Chains A and B, each alone.
Chain A
């Protein structure tokens, strides 16, 4: 039964992809994607219930391994995917109506999104470092065409940068994997047999050669950090997230980054056991502060709201890296909660920005004026989303940022945490300022003028677009107020991520 549960998150989206490939995008199949995503979420919850109390579950001859951390990531993937795929019918319908998409491109996008979900689920369930690497590189390949879907100069450029930078970063991680395999093979007890299995690597980590492991861990953290949008190899992220269609941006920003960060967490467990906590901590602190500084410097004068959201993703990945550097029970729990909260909020915002683009015809902040008057519902969702993102209560990001900060001050990283908080406040202020310029004030020159011409066609946000936005915000707020059964899962997952029980 548990085997079935741990295969389901990979297999269900594959079925979804096959369904779209054969039946195409039509009225009857509109909700197939959301159904598959819902299945992933349900399987994730069931899997979490199964492994939280008991032992990790190994399936397919040791290829897949589900512990509490994997189950938690499946839940995150499922939750964000439900939002993104539930918003897809509305988004694609409007795109087709506007002539920017056809049934053919809609079908291709739906197929690729489902395959994308399957590869992400496969990645977090992988039992060994090599298989995880294969999964992460597969996500790059699948999403390349989603980013470059529109075939404009900007979209092709974004896709090219995305594939080249991410593949190179991931190649570094593979070099790290190879070296770790070598270190494992040279253990006194191993007799020349390498091994990349998480569990056995973590157990045998103290026997690994220090010098080789140090090189390997540095390469792995930089490599997977590339894919997580962490500095120094973050340049692809704003382009790719800015150019991809809204539901895809929501998935990439909401979960793909976290899936790559999950790989960093797994590496950190091995590194802590082999080299002591200092090495990974120093690396992650540097990466975290660099990411926050990059995000802050480019956020202040930002002119494009989709890129603003993308830089905010870099900021939040930096915060996650900071939490990872701190380590310990409080910090790890907060990091995982932050992954979920950020996923939900960012998905809502990117979906909202997709609708915003359809309504206004532009991604420039300056082109959007007085949205609160013209589209109160969309403006409300977007505004509350940004407030959630900058960490105001009752949304869960407040709790998790507070947790990371408290753990940072308690864990001997006081100055680093203080600097990080300063940058976060700066970024938050810039975001709120940009957003309030978009939402408040009088509409520029009537709803029909200039690039706002689309408004006349669709005066208000339809329910099928609005419901996912509101549901995402509500979920984020609910988690912020009470964890409920999620608390147990978070505790178990934090233990799997290296926090002392």
Chain B
């Protein structure tokens, strides 16, 4: 939600890191609840990855920029963004109906919130013009999906969770390198300039 409001990249990244902490807390609570040591280890892993490593990588991509530290001209202004967020949350509640109905429990009641985060990440992704904002939007989506995974069941099998985390990490690293190259080729990371290729 805050990510829609603020335009400074540094603040957006801090919000993202806090979300990572919240996600790790959810998993930790689940671990205590189920008395499951494996789940506890997963919680620590999530904390390290989503609250530490990923924000660090994004931050480094930003530090190399030396350009405007703000999202200059988002396609949609702040008020409209916040209204859109409200609408997306309602949509999330509507879509999640069958999920909540299947197993009414406090945890599954919270599933729409996770879905709302996914939708908002998508919204950030399509309305922002800077490369870094898109990366953050993608990561928000991923956080939301992971939240849904842990709220519905105790997460996907461990080997899958590991593979997914690795994939996300690599995807962000790849995007970071591409941002650097984009800056070398274009001089900035304004995605509106990406119009070499079209029919």
Interface residues of A, Cβ cutoff 8 Å to B: 63, 128, 130-131, 133-134, 137-138, 140-141, 144-145, 148, 151-154, 156-161, 163-164, 167-168, 171, 174-175, 177-179, 181-183, 185-186, 192, 194, 196, 209-212, 214-215, 238-239, 242-243, 298, 301-302, 307
Contact A167 B152 (CB under 8 A): no
In the assembled complex, the Cα of A47 lies from the Cα of B122 at a distance in Å of 42
Please tell me which one of the listed residues B103, B160, B167, B182 contacts residue A156 in the complex, with CB atoms under 8 A apart.
B182
B window 99-117: CB within 8 A of A:
99, 101-103
Contact A160 B194 (CB under 8 A): yes
Interface residues on B, range: 35 or more
B window 123-170: CB within 8 A of A:
125, 131, 134, 138, 141-142, 145, 148-149, 152-153, 156-157, 159-160, 163-164, 166-167, 170
Interface residues of B, Cβ cutoff 8 Å to A: 95, 97-99, 101-103, 118, 122, 125, 131, 134, 138, 141-142, 145, 148-149, 152-153, 156-157, 159-160, 163-164, 166-167, 170-171, 174-175, 178, 181-182, 184-186, 191, 194, 196-197, 199
The answer to whether residues A181 and B149 also contact, given A158-B197, A160-B131, A168-B138 and a CB cut-off of 8 A, is yes
Which residues of A have CB within 8 Å of B103? 182, 186
Contact A164 B134 (CB under 8 A): yes
Contact A167 B197 (CB under 8 A): no
In the assembled complex, the Cα of A168 lies from the Cα of B175 at a distance in Å of 13
6 CB contacts below 8 A, A to B, read A130-B159, A133-B164, A134-B163, A157-B182, A211-B97, A211-B102
Contact B125 A153 (CB under 8 A): no
In the assembled complex, the Cα of A154 lies from the Cα of B181 at a distance in Å of 12
The answer to whether residues A177 and B156 also contact, given A145-B174, A156-B181, A239-B197 and a CB cut-off of 8 A, is yes
Which residues of A have CB within 8 Å of B141? 168, 171
Contact A153 B186 (CB under 8 A): yes
In the assembled complex, the Cα of A194 lies from the Cα of B159 at a distance in Å of 14
Distance (whole angstroms) from the CB of A136 to the closest CB of chain B? 9
The answer to whether residues A130 and B152 also contact, given A238-B199, A242-B197 and a CB cut-off of 8 A, is no
In the assembled complex, the Cα of A189 lies from the Cα of B127 at a distance in Å of 45
In the assembled complex, the Cα of A153 lies from the Cα of B167 at a distance in Å of 26
Contact A196 B160 (CB under 8 A): yes
Could you say which of A133, A145, A167 has the most chain B C-beta atoms within 10 Å of its C-beta?
A167
Distance (whole angstroms) from the CB of A187 to the closest CB of chain B? 10
Could you say which of A160, A196, A210, A243 has the most chain B C-beta atoms within 10 Å of its C-beta?
A160
Contact B182 A63 (CB under 8 A): no
The answer to whether residues A182 and B194 also contact, given A148-B181, A175-B145 and a CB cut-off of 8 A, is no
Which residues of B have CB within 8 Å of A174? 145, 164
Which residues of A have CB within 8 Å of B199? 238, 298, 301-302, 307
In the assembled complex, the Cα of A179 lies from the Cα of B196 at a distance in Å of 39
